[in-house]
Structure 1
Amino acid sequence: MIREWDAMLNGASSVPEERWHAARDLAEAKGFKFIEANELLQGPVEDIVTRVEAVGAGSRKARLQAASALLGTTPPPKITVTRALDLYWELTETDQRGKSDDQIRRMRNPVIKAFKNFVDVVGDKAVSGISRDDMLDFRAWWADRINESSCKASTANKDLTHFSKVLKRVNDLKRLGYDLPVSGLSFKEGRKEPRCPFSTNWIRDRLLEPDALKGLNTQARCILLGMINTGYRPIEGAALLPQRIKLEGAVPMIEIRPDEREVKTDRAIRDIPLAGVSLEAFREYRDGFPRYRDKPGLSATINKFLRGNGLMETPKHSMYGLRHAFEDRLLEAGVDERIRRDFMGHQLSREQYGNGASPRRALECISLIAL
């Protein structure tokens, strides 16, 4: 009876999908599965009679609400594409826990872009009314852009993936039961270009040349210098809190932890010893880099500066090449694979045993290649 009362209260909602779910709950509370009227009419008359008899007594409003639920006349909600995206954020709120504001922004923006593109091409249609032709029109719009060489197939595939993922999740968690025509739409992608590592000579003779980085703001400059001998991801360096920068003792180091943000994987949680220009950079900024902590713009700022000052080794290089160069130098120095993967935060290709190298041994390995 309490379940019935709750369902009837929810049925008074002004939100269509809440009223529809309330009708389903009310039918189940009375011992029936909610079946839409058109489908119910195709079944045996006895089933309809049983449902009518189960409406029960009560006020006229209560009887009408129960009849609507039991006889399937409550209309299903017309959830538009943009409404589906709003519902998706509500339904996946727990997935966002542990992420920083900037990480949530980075997660949301590509999805928002995909939905904007669909609405621009097809319109803000009801999800139940999206046809295969609508999806093919969206795909054709992307095909035109790919053919004009204004974007890559991978960019189009991300849009298609984000759009279909959201609709599927909402359809599933809201138990809408729609047959979504969103499969088999991806484009064939070409070979993915690997990131270009900077050569040791280029780092030493160009990037570390006196005054080469003088025009770059000091926090961005120190994050870049810190990356040279640690190989951390730029966002990992920018996110470091003061207590994670350990400069005292025999082995100065930084600690990558999920502080106020989510790390990429469990293996990304690691300690990296400091040496060379990276150690000097953190001595200059012992408290980390508040200008870029959980804020956008770091990579764009550094890449723009390097390109504008002739400090990119080739047009295909980016700041991230310093991370790849770090592992190349470790490999050239003969550093064990387990230690390299521990520094990089990469998964092992086998079962992990033990804690890895001691801090002192890890510093010895870094010192072999430190610039």
Structure 2
Amino acid sequence: MIRWVLGLWLLLCCALASAQTRAPSVIFLNPGYSDEPFWADYTRYMQDAAGDLGIDLKVLYGERDPARMLSNARQVLDGEHPDYLIFTNEQFQGPVLLRLFEASQVGLFALHSTLTDEQQALIGGSRERHRNWLGSLVPNDEEAGYLMGRELIALAKGQPAELLAFSGVKQTPSSILRLAGLQRALNEAPHVRLVQAVHGEWQEQRAYEQAMSLLPRYPGVSLVWSANDAMAFGVMRAADEQGRDLRYAALNNSARVLQAHIDGRIDVLASGHFILGACALVMLSDHARDMDFIERGGQDQVASLLHLLDRAQSQKLLARLGQADIDMDFGQFSALTQPQQQRYDCSIASLLD
């Protein structure tokens, strides 16, 4: 009898140990193209963080197709459920995803873009009506748009100027917020006039075609604000073909835009949000280990990752991101290693040293 009890006790201990050491499983519904530099790099940093944190990560690309994104979500729902599902509110699909998984035990987490205030007024926020929606992590998009706009406007040196803006996909919160930030900067600078804001949908070719028709319409434009780097390059190509000398503000971390900033072809550059997904994995890793991130900044958090780079910082970032090994330990941001931290401090500071 004693031997039987000891045997059962050992089995229970082994089962508990196994449960405690099992890697948390996470699926990320990546909205981008699988060969899109920004989203491919975004995934690369998440995979690096997953390795540091002991997370089993799988990524499904939506290929910028709303139907494909929903198909990927249904594939997860019909398959073996992960511990966590990370989604974006791309094309405002967040409420649909929440409804799909409302009866499941999967923990849902909004990344990069969360439900808008209007959407949340209808269906509730995280941990409200949809109890398995654990929270969100988004970058400081409005602030980035503002800082880019303010720095670009400063190039006019107080003189009257005209500005043309290229925003992203109309139904994307990041696009809306960045453009709102630009408008805040314009409100502070009445001497600079926004002649038009168009939706370049993050695409170089579309921005090129738009700029080919817009630049002749606005011969006085000297400033171009772009919500990402691809659109800035599209406008730049059109301007070069038309012999226009313009000043540019852009956002991203591609080798191409970093080099353009170093060379002075991009005047203002914001970057830093490319590790946002990795930072989200830090939060979920803690949550899986009974250290709820709500105690370290709340359930819905804004990461102040986006900031303006000077040319020296662009040079450092270009060199670091060009390495095969990112050489960044994301475990350093976890509550496991910093149990006294009151807020997460995930940043690219170490990449700029």
TM-score interval, normalised by the smaller of the two chains: under 0.3
Higher normalized helix content (fraction of residues): 1
Comparing both structures, which one devotes a greater share of its residues to strand? 2
TM-score normalised to the size of structure 1?
Answer: 0.22
Q: TM-score, normalised by structure 2?
A: 0.23
Bigger Cα Rg: 1
